[in-house]
Structure 1
Amino acid sequence: MTLALLHTSPAHIPVFDALRDAEHPGLGLRHLVREDLLAGAVESGPEAVSAEVGAVLADAVAEGASAVLCTCSTIGGVAESAAATVGVPGLRVDRPMAAAAVERGRVVVLAALAGTLAPTLALLAEEAEKAADRPAGVRAVLVDGAWARFCAGDRDGYLDLVAAAADAVEDADVIVLAQASMAEACRRTVTRVPLLSSPRSGLAAAAAAARRVPRPGP
């Protein structure tokens, strides 16, 4: 049983490997890193890279993937759509997080990259519509300077800026960290507002989907 993960940064690989080792032993992970897909999505919009995303996922399935997980929030929607054509379950890492967030009430979304905001807000709106009588009030905050720190390889500086932005949030019932790379900022905050990040719940959902795929007979 192999789960293919589509990343737009190699920084995600150790995060998901560690989660797999701790919580899903025996699950095979195949990491596919395509930084160019995020660059194209930021420049021209996520739909501009949908064909390339579909080709990457199709190749992963041809090489034996039981399910595919996109760990990039910016292209997660197009990855979900593309996965519908490749014959195995396809998930975006932030959907379980979004579903949990809209159950909490007032949501503040923190993002390091402006291009991530629209896909994340659209996902939250989708999940709010599914949750009967639970429309989410959503406010978005772009963390100034964080993306430049991430691109420069300044992981501590990046996480510190995200944590500081979370600590500054008021009038919210939950804080959503829009990008998987933000997850470790949860350990650096002092806010009493609950924070949700996507790697753990996203990987759990994808692992469950992979397990449900029938295995070929002898």
Structure 2
Amino acid sequence: MPRIALIHATRVAIAPIEAAAKAHWPEAETISIMEEGLSVDRQKSGDLSLELWDRIIGLARYAESAGSDAILFTCSAFGQAIDDAAEDSLIPIMKPNQAMFNAAFGYGDRIAMIYTFPPAAAGMEDEFKTAAASKGSKAVLTSYFCAGALDAKRAGDVVTHDRLIAETAEQIPEADVIMLAQFSMASAADAVLRRITTPVLTSPEAAITEIRRRVETMQRRQIC
């Protein structure tokens, strides 16, 4: 039974990824590591500070020491630090949106992304450009901020959260696919699809599918 560490910077990301893990990889053992101060301090900071960077690296090392076979970060605002942690690790370490970006390229070149946590946007846009270049894709990303949705989710008002995201999706003029950037936004997918016909991608399902592929590939290599 592989052990997968899920590292969270906000409580609202926990339920969506745990649900995705149960649905798409029930054989895996998931452990959640919570460091809520990360999202609080990231929102206060103008950029990804060295202190925050070191905390991300420290969390990855802690997860490794706990016997994890892979690590998935569920917050989108720490991409560069997660890359740094992955470079020095012998196990797969994934950013939350890598798999969703790769899936989006299959829909076309006009890709929209709705986000609810402003500090995550710039880093995700940079990650998208890098991913597109590595795939030889000409896809262009347009980002849309959904104000008020994250506050509603944190207050436990999922209905308002989902409605605000669906309303934002309705305002997107042209897109081949719409990505919901944060793990916490996955609950809004059905509400969005009730209002529009554009395909919608969420990150938890794509992330679990990809990290399962990586772990099982590594296990097969070890057996050989």
Would you call these one fold, judging by a TM-score over 0.5?
yes
C-alpha distance in 1 between matches for 2:135 and 2:216: 26
Question: Is contact 2:72-2:94 (8 Å) kept?
Answer: yes
Shift of 1:157: 1.1
C-alpha distance in 1 between matches for 2:40 and 2:62: 21
Deviations 1:144-191 (A, max 9, x none): 222222332322211111111112211111111111111121101221
- Structure 2 gaps of 5+ residues are none
Among 114, 117, 120, the residue aligned to 1:116? 120
Among 110, 119, 122, the residue aligned to 1:106? 110
Among 190, 201, 205, the residue aligned to 1:196? 201
- Structure 1 gaps of 5+ residues are none
Question: Is contact 2:12-2:153 (8 Å) kept?
Answer: no
Q: CA RMSD in A?
A: 1.9
Matches within 5 A, 1:77-96: 77-96=80-99
Partner of 2:140: 137
User: Percent identity, aligned pairs only?
Assistant: 24
Question: How many equivalent pairs are there?
Answer: 216
Letter in 2 for 1:199: P
Among 196, 212, 215, the residue aligned to 2:217? 212
C-alpha distance in 2 between matches for 1:147 and 1:17: 19
Q: Secondary structure at the match of 2:10?
A: coil
Partner of 2:21: 20
Q: Secondary structure at the match of 1:140?
A: strand
Q: Secondary structure at the match of 1:128?
A: helix
Question: Is contact 1:68-1:83 (8 Å) kept?
Answer: no
Residues 203 and 47 of structure 1: CA distance in aligned 2, closer, same or farther (over 3 Å): farther
Shift of 1:214: 4.5
- TM-score (norm. length: structure 2): 0.89
Shift of 1:13: 2.5
Letter in 2 for 1:156: V
Q: Secondary structure at the match of 2:76?
A: coil
Letter in 1 for 2:168: A
Q: Secondary structure at the match of 1:11?
A: helix
Q: Secondary structure at the match of 2:72?
A: strand
